[in-house]
Structure 1
Amino acid sequence: MTNAIHPVDQKLPWGRTLIYAAQHVLAMYAGAVAVPLVLAGAIGLSTEQLIYLINADLFTCGIATLVQALSIKNFIGSKLPIVQGCTFTAVTPMIIIANTHGGGAAGLQVVYGSAIFAGIACFIISNYFSKMLRFFPPVVTGSVITIIGLSLLPVAVNWITGPNPAAADYCSPSNIALSLVVLAIILFIYRTCKGFLGHISVLLGLVFGTAIAAAFGMVDFHAVGEAAVLGVTTPFAFGLPVFEPVSCLIMTLVMLVTMAETTGDVMAVSSIVKKPMTEEMLTKALRADGFSTALGGVFNTFPYTAFAQNIGLISMTGIRSRYIVATSGVLLMVLGLFPKLAAVVACIPTMVLGGAGLAMFGMVASSGMQALSQADLQKKGNSMVVAISVAVALIPIGVPSFYSHFPQWVQLIGNSGITIGSIMAIVLNVLLCEHKPKQQEELQAKLSLQ
């Protein structure tokens, strides 16, 4: 009988750990700063305030990631290699809350009050929310993981094309060509190199892609010179939080939606790293979301969730250690403290990130399909669960305004393809499939171990 350490709990040499951790940071950086960028412009913050928000966001992202990967007294945090970041689900509600209460710093005080309240609520109800795990047999698990991957792919495409259709360089052939070169570099390294080099194929693709972009004058380094050397995040920098009842309820609903997304993300990571998913593990992961969201309200940031961007990186590289992800949390904290370093990372062109994103996000979808192979799709109802849940999840991706005439709470749920697709998979599984709880549990455990 052996007491082999699970790959999730293995500690690698420090040199490799730092490089793998840097790869995680580069993969998620654009997504990490997207929320403060969008919010600041929508509620009328100054450039100085935006810079402060970005620094605070990176710093708190690091703390949240450390909590999720390492755990606090084995009570908060899943001990899985999960990178935490601000959820985009909360952006629209936060903009509405802030602008309803005057915008700017005054609006942020209400946003942070509602975030603290919602984070505490999430922490309290996580133990009950995790009971949903019994509604996730392999057909639902596979559908949800597939939906996560397919929902992320448009993010990579937008990185390549640019977000603004009116921009002169939108869908520029040179941008598309550069992203394909990056993808080709990653695939070449992944296919031909073994061991360490193969595991950092995404990092090398980003480095070579940025170097090529710089050679053609496609990288702007001005922000590095203009960035401050040191930026310290202090609690309640925009004023004490305001706990406005309606805003607190809205943000709590946002966290319920986020908890559903986190459930799918944790399931995906659990399947990829071959560590059986348990109700206790999910509860601890959701507690970490609640804790980090409340902490974000104190440190001038926003609701946190598992970052699906990094799930594909784990699947692609096969490096499963949570200590690598914890190290990436430390690096994020350093970037938050030293804005000049963060500005260097920000110089990576989005089309370079897009080329890497195609590979990483596609791997998430591939993992979902692998999970579905463990479900009996010939069995009555199973195929329909997959078909309808995936189809419904793709609606807001294909037509973002599809739910625009529905009530706000419907839009909140429907506009997240991951959330609406996951709910649909659970409901259809209950309605259409035959249920034998013991066999489902055995199959779920078998899926996680394979």
Structure 2
Amino acid sequence: MKDILIIEDDRTLNHLMARHLQKLGHSVKSALDWASAKEYLAASEPALILLDCLLPDMDGYKIISEIAHQYPVIVLTAYASVQNAVRAIKAGAAEYLTKPVNLDELELMVKRTLDTDTLRREHEWYQRQIQAMGKNAMIGRSRALAEVHALIDAVAAADITVLIEGESGVGKELVARQIHQRSARADRNLLEIDCSTLHHALFESELFGHERGAFTGADRRKPGLVEGAEGGTLFLDEIGELDIALQAKLLRVLETGQFRRLGGTKDLRANVRIVAATNRSLAQMSRDNQFRQDLYFRLSSFVIRVPPLRERREDIAELVEYFLHHLDIRLQVNKTISAAALKQLVAYDWPGNIRELRNVVERAMILSGNKAEIRPEHLAFAASGHNPAAITSLTFDHDPNLDEIERMYLEKMLDKHSGHRAHVAKVLGVSERNLYRLLHKHGLPKH
């Protein structure tokens, strides 16, 4: 059963078509003019629209171009001509039906249009899934992300150890994959291990492998990830959680390129590139004797800092679009997001970063049900008290002057409040007129 909207000012014909389609099992809504139809469309999303070309309050051909990108449209007209048919199809109509309407022809055309639209949607959905498979793209075009890309390009071919720093959920693993894919090792394995998920005894065996009899249950030799990543890249996530005893063994791999399996006596060569990531300050941990200082110096020969999402708000719209296309694999429906909902997403500070954004979008897709558009009422943000992400930080690669500090702060506030001047003025404690002058002074957008 499908929801069908009939927009036809002839009451008798409208009622006749509605009754016939209802007998076929469809749910039908009738409208006698465009104003009534618009009211219905504001709250509902039909699977098909039957539209009279000559309505009392609007030119039907203008309506076609307005709605055809959202709904399949069958045009109804009493003036049959090739010229009118071509005009309707060019405007976006799926089919063209002349009056007086033959009910058998109407039934056939409705079925064909609905079937065609279903096939089109399924094709688009599967195409998106195919395109998304195997992709590890870093989504966004912000200046902050462009700087990360530049660092990746600079270090990828150098074949040195890289330390990736960033808050939880910013996508450090994607940076590691990009380093691997842009390096000369791209045709070999990239293996990943989370240093926080395994007990140190199991972790050593997982990383370096073990010999037969090394421990109870070790009935055969097992190569570790260092050997499995031979010629490729080994990504150590959450390196700050690594046990202090294992830190010494990892340092040996970095300094000598050698290691031993657990329970072994033979030195083995490790032809592997190490990329590590952390959401903690290894520098501070090394000063507090929680992390080996010599290992920190080895790892930090080249550091890439991945910015939190609140520092690249201009990427949120593109990330949301990507998630809408990527996550609907479970729902098999096409989703869009309203401007009001997107504005809320951009204004939020995202303490959980991209991982939290993905979860919010996925939840919104589920809560929006069979509606094509995600609206503000479908969004649910994590409740929190003190949010450290709400703190505004200004970062420079040099000692800034007052004008530079003022300009960056204005940019941050405009980004955070989606360009809403009244909100920004309130935060700054100035009038909108004074804010306008500041924007003019620094050449920033005023609208």
Short-chain TM bin? under 0.3
Bigger share in helix: 1
User: Which fold has the larger relative contact order, with Cα–Cα distance below 8 Å and residues 6 or more apart in sequence?
Assistant: 1
Q: Which TM-score applies when normalising by structure 1?
A: 0.21
Larger radius of gyration: 2
